[in-house]
């Protein structure tokens, strides 16, 4: 299939209602100077976020999740492929004003609640600055009212009292809520949440996951929830996209993917979840080493770790194919050749 | 049953603060037997690391051991001089701390660091040191070419393995580990846990394993101690605690992590955060966050009530304790 035809058929496959979508999204980095090599951080990724939807992007470190988020946030430009927000290509967004407006509608929440807030400023100051930048038409009083509203809506109430607090006076979980409040203050459509709970205690994480679910429900927000923990993905996400070594290896409705995982990597992720209620079933032989993404060449990138690998896996890169309606997998062995081609 | 290899009695540790002493560990006692795997769990700030530092005699000022004894193979470590301790440490017990990046020397190869540790304990034969270094690395599944690697050349998971291999160098009888897997991905974390457990089974050392993630030790520890605000609030067999936790705090911890398999149920976690150790709540230290709080809980401090095989610091277990007594 020619590249042009392929792009076309992919475009057709994405629903009209997509809020934010990546089509054949690719980002490479040159590493190592003059005789440098190419690192394939993200290769040919399709990903769609609809309105009022939480999509979990799952994979271990180095699989390209943050790069996808940064491409969506316009921190990086794609090497190839495209991102569309409400049908419009991000390529068309060029002026400083438009980029700012886009970042307000698609803000990012980061992993580290300790470094993402400036220690010398109060929470009120941090929110006010964002509001001044993104919503310059608001008056001072309106900005304060808005800051209080978003603090209350992320569970930091009374918001008015929160305004004078400094980051060091807050717990990690509270600081992460401030991160969400900051994102909310711009009236976003989609929040890019890059491992927002990974650095928090387990007992605190669930409160933030509940907050995302609640904001999706009550404010109609969509989330790209990035995590390496597939159990937390199951808890909040409507759909799951599993990435390995820069590529999507499986995607589909959450319960479908969790109950009928087709890709060996998804199965490995599932077996690694520490769930005392389940049987212990992981082999100690998989050391969980980061994926190889420097000049990966042809072939399945998971083959070095795959218990099912056959000879073709070293030669031909498996493409995503439907395993069942809405559920795709990229594996020569587990996703039948007989499955209908696009 | 054999004598315990380690007995911790009434350990108290204080940090001076402008508002008065923070009692980070308050009268903690437990024993661990040869070959046993004890998990210590609790949220961050509950005193787990401070307790490990006290046990291994690695507390540094301003932290101060305010009382208690650490009896290791019949010898009270608290009374040993630093020279004597250095002999015992690594040979009889070893320590794996949370961040291997901080524990490893960044400018020395793995081989050089292993050799330093062995020479400090009287091993002089270079070939023997080399052979033992290869051996421990292969025990943790790392190719011996990495003896020539510097720490920054290794992935996070490999660094933790290198640390664990180092702890095995002198075949100690006890290895103390402080969240050795917390910085790793789920797959690397799980695989390291499986490996630690396999080594412990085959080599027979005892383990004290600290983590804030209770789900992590579910399959691995024989006994579990749950810490809250500097005290043990529950201690008993791991399976028993997972099946029917006695303390409301333990119940809260267990209801904090979502399951991948069972029915999808809404979880609440535990509201609030652990207290500041300088201004501890009156009565039961957990009462401001407890879902089952009663009137007396804010007045009297509960004891560790023992009933059957479980000890629980909660008034709700007092009756069971009296029945058993
Ligand atoms: N700015 C960059 N320059 C070079 N390599 C990068 C850059 N950003 C990310 N990478 C590499 O891209 C790969 C994917 O990284 P990342 O997107 O951060 O993955 P994840 O978030 O899943 O851990 C990694 O190998 C990483 O080292
Ligand atoms: N250097 C210090 N000075 C004052 N207080 C400290 C110091 N180090 C730790 N603490 C306090 O001791 C308590 C226990 O900390 P720690 O042992 O690190 O807990 P954990 O390992 O369970 O997270 C915390 O309340 C912490 O604030
Ligand atoms: S394509 Fe081959 S190597 Fe890749 S996951 Fe499937 S079986 Fe394994
Ligand atoms: S003693 Fe009271 S406050 Fe403390 S855990 Fe038991 S019921 Fe809760
Ligand atoms: Mg990342
Ligand atoms: Mg600690």
The full set of domains in chain A, from first to last, is 3-107+188-261 (3.40.50.300)
Q: Residues lining ligand 2, CB < 6 A?
A: B 15, 17, 22, 24, 42, 44-50, 62, 277
User: How much is the pLDDT for A322?
Assistant: 96
pLDDT value, residue A2: 42
| Per-residue pLDDT in tens (0 to 9) along chain A, 342 residues | 344 444 444 544 445 579 999 999 999 999 877 778 899 999 999 999 999 999 999 999 889 999 999 999 999 999 999 999 999 999 999 999 999 999 999 999 988 777 778 889 999 999 999 999 999 999 999 999 999 999 998 988 888 989 999 998 888 888 999 999 999 998 999 999 999 998 888 888 999 999 999 999 999 999 999 999 999 999 999 999 999 999 999 999 999 999 999 999 999 999 888 877 666 665 556 777 778 889 899 999 999 999 999 999 999 999 999 999 999 999 999 997 644 444
pLDDT of residue A13: 44
Span(s) in chain B for CATH 3.40.50.300:
6-92+174-323
Identify which of A205, A234, A268 has the shortest CB distance to residue B187: A268
3-class secondary-structure state, position A192: strand
In this structure, the dihedral spanned by the alpha carbons of residues B115, B120, B125 and B130, taken in order and rounded to 10 degrees, is -20
In degrees and rounded to multiples of 5, residue B17 shows phi and psi of: -135, 165
Percent above pLDDT 90 for chain B: 63
- Predicted confidence at residue B155, as pLDDT, reads 84
Regions of chain B with pLDDT less than 70: 1, 99-101, 325
Q: Ligand 1: distance of its center to the CA of A168 in Å?
A: 30
Contact A278 B193 (CB under 8 A): no
Q: Residue B40 and residue B204: Cα distance in Å, rounded? A: 19
**B6-92+174-323 is classed CATH 3.40.50.300:** yes
Taking the centre of ligand 2 as the mean of its atom positions, its distance from the CA of residue B24, in whole angstroms, is: 6
Q: What is the pLDDT of residue A7?
A: 42
Q: Do B214 and A202 touch (CB under 8 A)?
A: yes
Q: Are A270 and A261 in contact (CB under 8 A)?
A: yes
pTM: 0.90
Put simply, the answer to whether A274 touches B213 (Cβ < 8 Å) is: yes
Query: Which chain A residues touch B258 with a CB distance below 8 Å?
Result: 206, 209, 231-232, 234-235
Tell me which chain B residue has its CA closest to the CA of residue A286. Answer: B191
Question: Which tokens sit at A228?
Answer: 């390496």
Question: Alpha-carbon Rg of chain B, whole angstroms?
Answer: 21
Residue of A nearest to B261 (CA): A278
Selected residue of B247, B260, B261 to mutate for chain A interface (largest A Cβ count, 10 A): B260
Whether the ω angle into residue B292 lies within 30 degrees of 0, i.e. cis, is: no
Tell which residue, B280, B235, B271, B224, has the closest CA to residue B252: B271
The alpha carbon of residue A287 is apart from the nearest alpha carbon of chain B, in Å, by: 6
pLDDT at position A286, please? Answer: 72
β pairing state of A321-324 and A327-329: antiparallel
Instruction: Indicate which atom in ligand 4 lies nearest the CA of residue B317.
Output: 6
In angstroms, what is the span from residue A149 Cα to ligand 5's centroid?
A: 30
Q: Distance (Å, rounded) from C-alpha A296 to C-alpha B149?
A: 24
Q: Quick one: tokens of A99?
A: 């980029």
Q: Is the CB of A84 under 6 A from ligand 1?
A: no
Contacts of B214 in chain A (CB under 8 A): 202
Residue-level pLDDT at B86 = 85
Provide CB contacts within 8 A for B125, sequence distance 6+. none
The pocket around ligand 3, CB under 6 angstroms, is made up of A 263-264, 300, 302-303, 306, 308-309, 313, 318, 331-333
Q: In angstroms, what separates the C-alpha of A206 from chain B's closest C-alpha?
A: 6
**How many Å apart are CA B294 and CA B107, to the nearest integer?**
56
């Amino acid at each position: 299939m020619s590249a042009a035809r392929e792009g076309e058929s992919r475009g057709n496959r994405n629903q009209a209602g997509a809020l934010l979508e990546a089509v054949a999204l690719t980002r490479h980095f040159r590493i190592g100077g003059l005789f440098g090599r190419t690192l394939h951080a993200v290769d040919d990724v399709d990903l769609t976020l609809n309105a009022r939807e939480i999509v979990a992007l799952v994979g271990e470190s180095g699989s390209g999740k943050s790069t996808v988020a940064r491409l969506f946030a316009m921190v990086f430009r794609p090497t190839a492929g495209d991102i569309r927000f409400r049908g419009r290509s991000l390529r068309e967004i060029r002026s400083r004003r438009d980029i700012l407006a886009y970042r307000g509608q698609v803000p990012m929440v980061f992993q580290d609640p300790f470094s993402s807030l400036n220690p010398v400023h109060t929470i009120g100051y941090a929110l006010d600055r964002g509001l001044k930048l993104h919503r310059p038409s608001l008056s001072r009083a309106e900005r304060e009212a808005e800051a209080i509203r978003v603090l209350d809506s992320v569970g930091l109430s009374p918001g008015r009292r929160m305004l004078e607090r400094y980051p060091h006076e807050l717990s990690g979980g509270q600081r992460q809520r401030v991160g969400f409040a900051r994102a909310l203050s711009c009236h976003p459509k989609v929040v890019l949440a890059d491992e927002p709970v990974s650095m928090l205690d387990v007992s605190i994480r669930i409160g933030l996951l509940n907050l995302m679910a609640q904001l999706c429900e009550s404010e109609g927000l969509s989330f790209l929830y990035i995590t390496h923990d597939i159990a937390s993905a199951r808890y909040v996400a409507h759909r799951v996209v599993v990435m390995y070594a820069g590529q999507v290896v499986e995607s589909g409705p959450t319960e479908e993917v969790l109950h009928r995982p087709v890709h060996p990597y998804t199965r490995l992720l599932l077996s690694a979840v520490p769930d005392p209620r389940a049987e212990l079933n992981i082999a100690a032989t998989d050391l969980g080493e980061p994926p190889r993404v420097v000049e990966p060449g042809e072939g399945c990138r998971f083959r070095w770790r795959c218990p099912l690998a056959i000879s073709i896996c070293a030669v031909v890169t498996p493409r995503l194919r439907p395993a069942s309606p809405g559920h795709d997998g990229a594996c020569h062995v587990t996703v039948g050749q007989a499955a209908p081609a696009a | 049953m054999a004598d315990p290899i380690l007995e911790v009695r009434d350990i108290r540790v204080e940090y001076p603060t402008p508002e008065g002493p923070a009692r980070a560990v308050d009268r903690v006692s437990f024993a661990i037997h040869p070959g046993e795997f004890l998990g210590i769990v609790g949220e961050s700030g509950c005193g787990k690391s401070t307790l490990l530092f006290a046990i291994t005699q690695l507390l540094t000022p301003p932290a101060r051991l305010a009382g208690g004894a650490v009896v290791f193979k019949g010898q009270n470590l608290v009374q040993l001089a630093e020279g004597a301790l250095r002999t015992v440490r690594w040979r009889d017990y070893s320590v794996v701390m949370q961040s291997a990046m901080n524990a490893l020397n960044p400018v020395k190869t793995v081989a050089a660091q292993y050799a330093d540790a062995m020479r400090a304990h009287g091993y002089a034969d270079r070939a023997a040191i080399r052979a033992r270094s290869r051996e421990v690395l292969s025990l943790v599944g790392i190719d011996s070419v990495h003896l020539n690697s510097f720490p920054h050349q290794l992935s996070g998971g490999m660094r933790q393995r290198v640390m664990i291999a180092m702890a095995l160098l002198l075949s100690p009888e006890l290895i103390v580990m402080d969240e050795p897997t917390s910085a790793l991905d789920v797959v690397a974390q799980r695989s390291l846990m499986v490996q630690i457990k396999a080594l412990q089974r085959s080599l027979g050392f005892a383990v004290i394993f600290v983590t804030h993630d209770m789900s992590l030790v579910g399959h691995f520890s024989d006994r579990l101690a749950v810490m809250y605000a500097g005290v043990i609030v529950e201690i008993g067999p791991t399976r028993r605690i997972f099946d029917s936790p006695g303390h409301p705090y333990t119940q809260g911890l267990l209801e904090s992590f979502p399951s991948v398999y069972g029915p999808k149920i809404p979880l609440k976690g535990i509201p609030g955060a652990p207290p500041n150790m300088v201004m501890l709540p009156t009565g039961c230290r957990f009462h401001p966050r407890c879902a089952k709080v009663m009137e007396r809980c804010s007045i009297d401090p509960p004891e560790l009530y023992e009933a059957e095989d479980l000890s629980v610091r909660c008034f709700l277990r007092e009756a069971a304790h009296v029945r058993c007594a």
